[in-house]
Amino acid sequence: MSDTDDRAFRPATEVVAAGRRREWTQGVVNTPVWRASTILFDSVGDLRAAVASPNDRLYYGRRGTPTQWSLADALTRLEPGAEGTMLYPSGVAAVGMALLSVLKAGDELLMVDSAYEPTRAFCRNVLAPMGVTTRFYDPLIGAGIAELFGDRTRAVFMESPGSLTFEVQDIPAICAAAKARGIATLLDNTWATPLFLPAIASGVDLSILACTKYIVGHSDAMLGSVTAAPGLLDGLRRMTHAFGQHVGPDDAALGSRGLRTLDVRLRQHQAGGLEVARWLETHPAVARVLHPALPSCPGHDLWQRDFRGASGLFAFVLAGGSDADRAALIDGLDLFGIGFSWGGFESLALPVDPAPIRTATRWQAEGPLVRLHIGLEDPADLIADLKRGLDRYPGR
């Protein structure tokens, strides 16, 4: 296989071909796992030459080897217009490093109210004590974000759709408004991945992935990434190296292995997820289904305009009932695991309660909320499992 570096392919081809430079693979299909701390040089002159260009030569284990470079390069290739990608030991680490690379003491951050809770915790526990203030905004604000910009506003953080309540944001409008004021835009793109939403091409400056989810895809490794638009990579890299962030080669190799099947897996998650979501809409024990591809979801028109697909994560509101009723429903399911995270081949069900987390908007619902991740099982079996539980559900 030749070096594919200077050619662009469709996304399904990129996930297979990207990052597999001959110099990294040495002809093996998957880039080998390079375990390294010390790199030995032939001479002092050779060592000095490596120090002079540490980003593209083997230099020291912490700065990566072909195993990590291969994955980072492939993720960059999936985001047309991007300059480069940095890897992190988790999605939360990626969120934190991305924020720190664009914010300093005295700045203000605008954070979407539907953000993943640990992202909010980072604002509280790291940004606030260092003198960065956070203002939360309505996920459906769109171009109206410009009215919130103040003299100290330096960054806008988006998560679309929100990972508990699935509001879809107007990413191009928010990015255009921010760009006009020189404000950086960050997007947690974990739900869609670059396959269903090319973030950099939509105007985003820093596209963040919890690769733990769909990139790894098999629930057996933790990994994060940030892909940067031109001009933002240097700052991100500086911050990342200052914090000594490093991904182990085995985890990077698991990320690359997952990436190779991302396109085919996502399409199956999408088909299964939609089938289950549409069925749930017809059940009397279900008040509402929050799935960006269904017209009832806030921001559905934006999803239709901007996204190329929907992944397997969504939620539904029960028509009534208590927390205990919801717990009994979830406990009774056979095919849905009960646990955090998502994006693997298995289906999961989780009770979620957004109301106490929110500050800029109010979450109101007819009953308790259940988040589902639809895995790669046959959707007919998943529907039968849910039907057994919902037919007995007392809260309707």
Ligand X SMILES: *Cc1c(COP(=O)(O)O)cnc(C)c1O
Does 210 sit near ligand X (CB under 6 A)?
yes
- Does the annotation mark 188 as catalytic? yes
**Candidate residues 212, 245, 268, 347; the one interacting with ligand X per rule CB under 6 A:** 212
Contact string (CB under 6 A) for ligand X, positions 54-93, x = contact: ------------------------------------xxx-
Please identify which of the residues 59, 88, 113, 116 carries the catalytic annotation.
Answer: 116
Contact string (CB under 6 A) for ligand X, positions 331-350, x = contact: ----------x---------
* 3-class DSSP string for the chain: CCCCCCCCCCHHHHHHHCCCCHHHHCCCCCCCCCCCCCCCCCCHHHHHHHHHCCCCCCCCHHHCCHHHHHHHHHHHHCCCCCCEEEEECCHHHHHHHHHHHHCCCCCEEEEECCCCHHHHHHHHHHHCCCCCEEEEECCCCHHHHHHHCCCCEEEEEEECCCCCCCCCCCHHHHHHHHHHCCCEEEEECCCCHHHHCCCHHHCCCEEEECCCCCCCCCCCCCCEEEEECCCCHHHHHHHHHHCCCCCCHHHHHHHHHHHCCHHHHHHHHHHHHHHHHHHHHCCCCEEEEECCCCCCCCCHHHHHHHCCCCCCEEEEEECCCCHHHHHHHHHCCCCCECCCCCCCCCCEEEEECCCCCCCCCCCCCCCCEEEEECCCCCHHHHHHHHHHHHHCCCCC
Smallest distance from ligand X to CB 234, Å: 24
Smallest distance from ligand X to CB 67, Å: 19
- Does the annotation mark 104 as catalytic? no
Smallest distance from ligand X to CB 41, Å: 35
* Of 67 and 212, CB closest to ligand X: 212
Q: With CB under 6 A as the rule, give the number of residues binding ligand X.
A: 15
Contact string (CB under 6 A) for ligand X, positions 90-129, x = contact: xxx--x--------------------x-------------
Name the site residues for ligand X (rule: CB under 6 A): 90-92, 95, 116, 159, 163, 188, 190, 210, 212-213, 222, 224, 341
Catalytic sites, residue numbers? 62, 116, 188, 213
